[in-house]
Chains A and B, each alone.
Chain A
Amino acid sequence: MTPLSFEWQWNVEYAIFFGLLYLALSIIGGTLTFVGIKTALQLMGLLRERHF
């Protein structure tokens, strides 16, 4: 459900519940995107590769 869905209600409960859900999803998605971009830049030689 998003704020554009017809069942959505603009109140504190919806804001907290979905706010936390979308925050968690954003952190997961954002970190994955960051890791993907970092890897791509390393593969293109634009970022230094760390050796383990």
Chain B
Amino acid sequence: MESTLIHQEPKRCSTRTFFLWTLPWILILGWGGLSAFLCLWKGLNQTNMSNIFAFALWIVFDLGVIALGAGAFFTGFLTYIIGKKELKSIINAAVIIGFICYSGAMAMLGIDIGQPLRGWFIFWHANIHSMLVEVSFCITCYLSVLTIEFLPIILENKKLEEIRGLRLFGHNLHEAMAIFAATGTFLSFFHQGSLGGMFGVMHARPFAARGGFYIWPWTFFLFVLSAIAAGPCFTILCTKLTEKLTRKKLVPDDAIQSLAKISGWLLSIYMILKIADTLGWIYGILPKAGLRLMDCYKEGPYGIWMLITEIIICGIIPAIILMIPKARKKMPWLITASILNCIGILINRFVFIIVSLAIPVMPFDRFWSYVPTWQEWGVGLAIIAYGIIVFSVSYRYLPVFPKERELNMA
């Protein structure tokens, strides 16, 4: 029965092997399901979140996956708006990764708000001066765009394609993809930015607060830039991991190199602006608040090493590797740079969320620590398991990599 759903060429693994591969992820998903059930049934007392840590592990996961999922809108922008044809061989994978990241983040937010039945309040009773409202609106709209972008890929399934109406609908949808890509770019620009802006306007917390342009703090622009610099690298990593696991070449080198080069340039621009922003923060904002740099890093495990790791090891080094054509053409260097780039953006989001809340603000405040409960880890890890399952199922049943057959002609 299953064989009717899979294209004859290229070959896929047996049903048994596929089941064994997905089994551990299904178990983690089960752990996440139990955790989510407990949080919805008994409340957020199942977590270690508090009035101090209203943003905690789930928001770190959310902002992390949303930043890494930026490869979808940016690759779509490059493919359909700028016209980079070589990226057509990787756009499907980028869309699926984006869909996984955003739907996972939305699912996690559904647990995080504590009362999902009142989730619609943010849309109907909107406070338009809140950055979070803008984020909620744009993320929801963009998830619908991603679903629409995913739809033609689903409709290309061997069995579904036999239905004439669905095939036509998929093709027509594909023809209109430039409109959805442009809308997605607009929505993504604003929600990626507003996620950063949200921290930049925390004027009572000099660790996160920044100056800016009109209503937008510099973090607004830095978050957009960092997301479009790291998103393509995450797409490259997922593609290369799939190639490793399936032992097949899935994407031509020109597409990978094109994405890596763009990512390198964007990361370099981001690093210049990030360093300027950090210097402005050290010599402008902190002294005005009566603080010195080391006052922010003197307590707890979050030392100055985080800043050095984020900017030098996971920023400048991958930017240099990705900028040099000879270096990025060598696979170990490309993978190393992509991993460092993605770790850098995760550290950046972690610092803005957790460290901002942990360090004292008032002279009488103390350093606050936070350790997630197993329920929080369960929901967080379930998003990763969900992503792996969705991507594996998509790879098995859908033409995710259009050049796969051509690249693997023996």
Contacts A17-B128, A21-B141, A24-B187 hold; do A31 and B179 have CB atoms under 8 A apart?
yes
In the bound complex, what is the Cα–Cα distance between A50 and B172 (angstroms)?
9
Q: How large is the interface on B (under 10, 10 to 19, 20 to 34, 35 or more residues)?
A: 20 to 34
Q: How far is the CB of B402 from chain A (nearest CB, A)?
A: 12
CB pair B141–A25 under 8 Å, yes or no, is: yes
CB pair A32–B125 under 8 Å, yes or no, is: no
Report A2-38 CB contacts with B as 1/0, cut-off 8 Å: 0001010000011001100100110110011011101
- Chain A residues lying within 8 Å of B125, measured Cβ to Cβ, are 1, 7
In the bound complex, what is the Cα–Cα distance between A38 and B137 (angstroms)?
29
Contacts A1-B125, A14-B128 hold; do A31 and B168 have CB atoms under 8 A apart?
no
- Chain B residues lying within 8 Å of A42, measured Cβ to Cβ, are 168, 172
CB pair A5–B124 under 8 Å, yes or no, is: yes
CB pair B168–A49 under 8 Å, yes or no, is: yes
- 18 CB contacts below 8 A, A to B, read A13-B128, A13-B129, A17-B126, A21-B141, A24-B183, A27-B183, A28-B141, A28-B144, A28-B145, A28-B183, A35-B173, A39-B165, A39-B168, A42-B168, A43-B164, A43-B165, A50-B171, A50-B175
B169 near A: Cβ within 8 Å?
yes
**A contacts, CB < 8 Å to B:** 1, 5, 7, 13-14, 17-18, 21, 24-25, 27-28, 31-32, 34-36, 38-39, 42-43, 49-50, 52
B19 near A: Cβ within 8 Å?
no
**Count of A-B contacts judged by CB separation below 8 Å:** 52
B37 near A: Cβ within 8 Å?
no
- Chain B residues lying within 8 Å of A24, measured Cβ to Cβ, are 141, 183, 186-187
- Residue of A whose beta carbon sits closest to that of B123: A1
The 6 closest A-B pairs by CB, nearest first: A17-B128, A39-B169, A35-B172, A39-B168, A31-B179, A38-B172
From B144, B168, B180, residue with most partner A Cβ within 10 Å:
B168
- Residue of B whose beta carbon sits closest to that of A50: B171
Main secondary structure of the interface of A (DSSP, over half): helix
From A1, A31, A35, residue with most partner B Cβ within 10 Å:
A35
Q: How far is the CB of A8 from chain B (nearest CB, A)?
A: 10
Q: How far is the CB of A41 from chain B (nearest CB, A)?
A: 10
- Chain B residues lying within 8 Å of A28, measured Cβ to Cβ, are 141, 144-145, 148, 180, 183
- Chain A residues lying within 8 Å of B279, measured Cβ to Cβ, are none
- Chain A residues lying within 8 Å of B141, measured Cβ to Cβ, are 21, 24-25, 28
Report B311-341 CB contacts with A as 1/0, cut-off 8 Å: 0000000000000000000000000000000
B176 near A: Cβ within 8 Å?
yes
In the bound complex, what is the Cα–Cα distance between A14 and B173 (angstroms)?
32
Besides A1-B123, A21-B137, A24-B187, 16 new A-B residue pairs in contact (Cβ under 8 A), listed by A number: A13-B129, A17-B128, A18-B128, A24-B141, A24-B186, A27-B183, A28-B144, A31-B176, A34-B176, A35-B169, A35-B172, A35-B176, A36-B169, A38-B172, A43-B164, A50-B175
CB pair A32–B148 under 8 Å, yes or no, is: yes
B window 155-200: CB within 8 A of A: 164-165, 168-169, 171-173, 175-176, 179-180, 183, 186-187
In the bound complex, what is the Cα–Cα distance between A52 and B141 (angstroms)?
30
Q: How far is the CB of B284 from chain A (nearest CB, A)?
A: 29
Q: How far is the CB of B173 from chain A (nearest CB, A)?
A: 5
